[in-house]
C-alpha cells in the first residue's frame, strides 16, 4: 500500500509523520500521557487494559519502513520526511532543506539509517 500510494501521489504529495508519544525511545516502564497511564513493553505503549496507547514510531524508523516498502532512493524518501511536510505547513522558507538562510536543523543518519547526530539551529543537540 505504501508503494502504491507513493507511485500515485509522488514524493511531493506524500509526507512522513509520526505521532510518537513522549515515552518513545525510553526504557520499558510506566509513563503518564496526560492523565492516561501507558505501560511500555518492548517499545510498544499500551493502556493498563491492553489497548494501544499511542505510537512509538520514530522518524528514522519511518524512513527505513518507507525505503524498504518502496525501494525509492534515500533522497526521495528523505524529502517525504523533510521538505514535503515543511511545504505542507507553510514552513519551507525556514525548514525542510539545507539552504542558505534556513534554520540549520539537521539530522545525520548512519549507514543503517539510524540517527547518528542531530543539530538544531546549527548546534549539536544529540550525538550517538
DSSP class per residue in 97-122 = S--TTS---EEEE-TTS-EEEEEETT
- At residue 19, the pLDDT reads 86
Q: What is the pTM of this model?
A: 0.85
* Mean pLDDT confidence for 40-66: 94
* Mean pLDDT confidence for 84-112: 96
Q: Is the separation of the CB atoms in 87 and 80 below 8 Å?
A: no
Is a pLDDT exceeding 90 seen at residue 27? Answer: yes
Q: Known catalytic residues?
A: 19
User: Which residues, at least 6 apart from 64, have a Cβ–Cβ distance to it below 8 Å?
Assistant: 112, 113
- At residue 106, the pLDDT reads 95
- At residue 94, the pLDDT reads 96
Longest CA–CA span in the chain (Å) reads 50
Amino acid at each position: 500500500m505504501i508503494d502504491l500510494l507513493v507511485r500515485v501521489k509522488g514524493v511531493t504529495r506524500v509526507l512522513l509523520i509520526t505521532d510518537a508519544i513522549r515515552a518513545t525511545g525510553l526504557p520499558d516502564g510506566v509513563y503518564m500521557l496526560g492523565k492516561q497511564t501507558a505501560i511500555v513493553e518492548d517499545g510498544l505503549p499500551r493502556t493498563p487494559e491492553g489497548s494501544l496507547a499511542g505510537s512509538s514510531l520514530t522518524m528514522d524508523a519511518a524512513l527505513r519502513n518507507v525505503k524498504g516498502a518502496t525501494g525509492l532512493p534515500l533522497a526521495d524518501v528523505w524529502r517525504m520526511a523533510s521538505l514535503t511536510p515543511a511545504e505542507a505547513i507553510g514552513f519551507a522558507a525556514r525548514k525542510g532543506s539545507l539552504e542558505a538562510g534556513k534554520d540549520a536543523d539537521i539530522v545525520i543518519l548512519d549507514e543503517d539509517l539510524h540517527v547518528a547526530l542531530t543539530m538544531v539551529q546549527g548546534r549539536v543537540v544529540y550525538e550517538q
